[in-house]
Amino acid sequence: MQTVIRSILGGLALGTLALGVGLATLLAVGWLGFGGNPWFVVAGACLTVTIIGVVSGMAMGGAIRGLSRELEHGDGSRLVSGPRWLRSVLRALNEYQVRHQQGEAAWRTREQDLEIRARVADDGRMQSEAVLEVMDDAVIVCNTLLEIISSNQAAGRLLGFDPATAEGHPIAEIVKDHTLRRIITETLEAGVDVEPRRGELMLGDCSNMGGNACEVVSACAVDRQGRASAVVTVLHDLSREREISQMKSEFVSKASHELRTPLSSMRAYVEMLVDGEARDEDTRQEFYRIIQSETDRLARLVDNMLNISRIEAGIIEVDRDVVDMHDLADRAVQTLEPHAREKSITLHTEIAPVGTMVCGDSDMLQQVIVNLLSNGIKYTPEGGRVTVQVDADTLTRSVHVAVADTGLGIAPHDAEHVFEKFFRVENYKRVAKGTGLGLNLCRHIIETVHQGQIGLESTLGMGSRFWFSVPMGQLPARVAA
Ligand code: ADP
């Protein structure tokens, strides 16, 4: 713009200069006509041209500077109030300036609008990425060239690729599974007018059931023109759900089997009593005793099942307090002393003099020691020995409790399973009655409720040593006071 003005004003200056030259020539011709000295004529003409040039140059320079200032900083309104001889040019320039300013303002608004849109789109993209990342289901989005444009960590885990580097790569390169690739390709070919494709597929090693069963849903994303712009595929891993439902049905079948055993026994003895098969009082008393013991077993079984499921569901009430494991060990020994005596088993305690306090639920911890001690007595032949040890481990700041017996011991392949629900060593089922839930409950109480550890060392035929450790207790203020 300024260049244009400068060239217009430059032209005007040249015009003025030419006018000056014309005037000077006229003057010279007039002078010569009157017989003057030609050198005076030349000098007079030069002087006239110079004076006119300097004066018009100064005037033009001032006008140019004023115009430039107005164009750069003003709103153009003062342009029309310039020198009279420039007014028509200046008016045109003023209109041009106004149009230019309006165009510039519109352009700025559009630029800001675009910036805002870009920011909103960026936020939207980040939100979508965050949603994808928190999803447990695997998600893969491909463009119409079947290149990956987005995928989440779950997809990476399930299909074995790195989502951070997968973008832009063809799915044929990233996804090894043929069936999944076929589903995605067919979804794109089918286009937008069909229902999402649904199916199930087995990913990974299908031969030994080591693969992952997945539910697949694949559909086309539509652009503004209603055409397919991408293929979105979601994979839902069914393995965990199937595992849980299998565990549930196993639990139900094992629980009903365990419940049926004492119930059948009770029913048989009750029937015998009803039918008058127990003819003498001693036999009747024996039947009553068996029914009572089966009822106790049934009650124990139901209690254990309830406690385990409450702990697993996280709804068990825990009554935490500072507990001295020394006291709990003594009390457990006292409780089980009569049973041990019946089998001529000697009970011992080896208890550290100090540092045996823990913070926990006294009843639950008591139950663990009683379970371990009762197992020690049950699976130790007559004349054996069971020892309860309580140690303070200052290094790990935990209290270590062990119940060691000189009993049957457990083979390594059985030892792996003793803490599982309903597990019982096959050969020992005749040795003692049990529920197969006692050790599982102990593990839940120690690991889940008290954040401790539980374990077993055993040699077949040489005895077992069951142990657990729980963190040392901090004395709460009210106890310390
Ligand atoms: P149970 O009520 O059957 O004793 P537990 O869960 O307490 O259930 O124990 C599971 C199984 O572990 C027992 O049935 C038994 O076979 C084995 N077991 C537990 N303690 C001992 C032990 N001290 N010596 C040998 N075997 C044991």
Give the C-alpha distances (Å, rounded to integers) separating 35 from 38, 40, 47, 410, 419. Answer: 9, 11, 20, 148, 139
Confidence label for 79 from pLDDT (cuts 50, 70 and 90): low
Kindly give the number of the ligand 1 atom that is closest to the alpha carbon of 371.
7
Please tell me the predicted confidence (pLDDT) of residue 60.
Answer: 65
Judge if the beta carbon of residue 436 lies within 6 A of ligand 1. Answer: yes
Question: Which of 117-121, 229-233, 258-262, 283-287 comes out lowest in average pLDDT?
Answer: 258-262
**Could you count the other beta carbons within 10 Å of the beta carbon of residue 469?**
20
Cβ atoms of 394 and 356 within 8 Å: the answer is no
Q: Which residue has the higher pLDDT, 448 or 243?
A: 448
Judge if the beta carbon of residue 411 lies within 6 A of ligand 1. Answer: no
Across residues 423-450, what is the average pLDDT? 93
Is a pLDDT exceeding 80 seen at residue 13?
no
User: How many angstroms separate the alpha carbon of residue 375 from the centre of ligand 1?
Assistant: 6
**Number of alpha carbons in the 13 Å side-chain half-sphere of residue 88:** 1
Please tell me the predicted confidence (pLDDT) of residue 48.
Answer: 72
Confidence label for 478 from pLDDT (cuts 50, 70 and 90): very low
Give the C-alpha distances (Å, rounded to integers) separating 435 from 34, 261, 419. Answer: 148, 10, 12
Q: Which amino acid is at 102?
A: Q
Kindly give the number of the ligand 1 atom that is closest to the alpha carbon of 376.
23
Kindly give the number of the ligand 1 atom that is closest to the alpha carbon of 418.
12
Please tell me the predicted confidence (pLDDT) of residue 427.
Answer: 92
Helix spans in 275-324 (H) = 281-313
Q: How many residues does the chain have?
A: 481
User: How many angstroms separate the alpha carbon of residue 378 from the centre of ligand 1?
Assistant: 8
Tell me how far apart the alpha carbons of residues 224 and 113 are, in angstroms, rounded to a whole number.
20
**SS3 state of residue 210:** coil
Beta bridge partners of residue 457, listed in sequence order: 465
Two tokens at 294?
A: 């089966």
Please tell me the predicted confidence (pLDDT) of residue 35.
Answer: 60
Q: Which long-range contacts (CB under 8 A, 24 or more apart) does 191-200 make?
A: 191/220, 191/228, 192/220, 192/222, 192/226, 192/227, 192/228, 200/238
Ligand 1, atom 19: closest residue by C-alpha = 375
Q: Which residue has the higher pLDDT, 1 or 158?
A: 158
Percent of the chain with pLDDT strictly greater than 90: 60
Ligand 1 pocket test: pick from 379, 388, 431, 464 the residue with the most ligand atoms within 8 Å of its Cβ.
379
Two tokens at 266?
A: 């009770």
Is a pLDDT exceeding 70 seen at residue 88?
yes
Confidence label for 479 from pLDDT (cuts 50, 70 and 90): very low
Judge if the beta carbon of residue 438 lies within 6 A of ligand 1. Answer: yes
Confidence label for 22 from pLDDT (cuts 50, 70 and 90): low
Judge if the beta carbon of residue 407 lies within 6 A of ligand 1. Answer: yes
Confidence label for 149 from pLDDT (cuts 50, 70 and 90): very high
Is a pLDDT exceeding 90 seen at residue 111?
yes
Ligand 1, atom 7: closest residue by C-alpha = 438
Print the SS3 string covering 320-385: EEEEEHHHHHHHHHHHHHHHHHHCCCEEEEEECCCCCEEEEEHHHHHHHHHHHHHHHHHCCCCCCE
Please tell me the predicted confidence (pLDDT) of residue 202.
Answer: 87
Judge if the beta carbon of residue 428 lies within 6 A of ligand 1. Answer: yes
Judge if the beta carbon of residue 435 lies within 6 A of ligand 1. Answer: yes
Confidence label for 10 from pLDDT (cuts 50, 70 and 90): low
Chain-centroid distance, C-alpha 328: 42
Across residues 90-98, what is the average pLDDT? 82
Say which residue the tokens 């040795």 belong to.
431
Is a pLDDT exceeding 90 seen at residue 408?
yes
Across residues 343-360, what is the average pLDDT? 95
Is a pLDDT exceeding 60 seen at residue 145?
yes
Best-predicted range by mean pLDDT among 30-44, 70-84, 190-204?
190-204
DSSP 147: B
In the chain, what are the domains?
Answer: 2-100 (no CATH), 135-237 (3.30.450.20), 242-311 (1.10.287.130), 318-471 (3.30.565.10)
User: What is the pTM (predicted TM-score) of this model?
Assistant: 0.62
Kindly give the number of the ligand 1 atom that is closest to the alpha carbon of 435.
2
Tell me how far apart the alpha carbons of residues 361 and 363 are, in angstroms, rounded to a whole number.
6
* Nearby residues of 266 by Cβ (< 8 Å), 6 or more positions away: 291, 294, 295, 298
Task: Give the tens place of pLDDT for each residue, 159-189.
Answer: 999 999 999 999 999 998 999 999 999 999 9
Judge if the beta carbon of residue 345 lies within 6 A of ligand 1. Answer: no
DSSP 446: I
Q: Which long-range contacts (CB under 8 A, 24 or more apart) does 217-221 make?
A: 218/183, 218/184, 218/187, 219/187, 220/187, 220/188, 220/190, 220/191, 220/192, 221/141
Residue burial 263-287, b: 16+ Cβ < 10 Å; e: rest: eebbeebeeeeeeeebeeeeebeeb
Ligand 1 pocket test: pick from 300, 304, 405, 425 the residue with the most ligand atoms within 8 Å of its Cβ.
425
Is a pLDDT exceeding 80 seen at residue 19?
no
Confidence label for 193 from pLDDT (cuts 50, 70 and 90): confident
Confidence label for 46 from pLDDT (cuts 50, 70 and 90): confident
Write down the mean pLDDT value for the chain: 86
User: How many angstroms separate the alpha carbon of residue 463 from the centre of ligand 1?
Assistant: 12
Tell me how far apart the alpha carbons of residues 359 and 449 are, in angstroms, rounded to a whole number.
11
Two tokens at 279?
A: 């003819």
Helix 87-134 crosses helix 38-73 at what angle (to 10 degrees)?
Answer: 30
Judge if the beta carbon of residue 463 lies within 6 A of ligand 1. Answer: no
Please tell me the predicted confidence (pLDDT) of residue 120.
Answer: 93
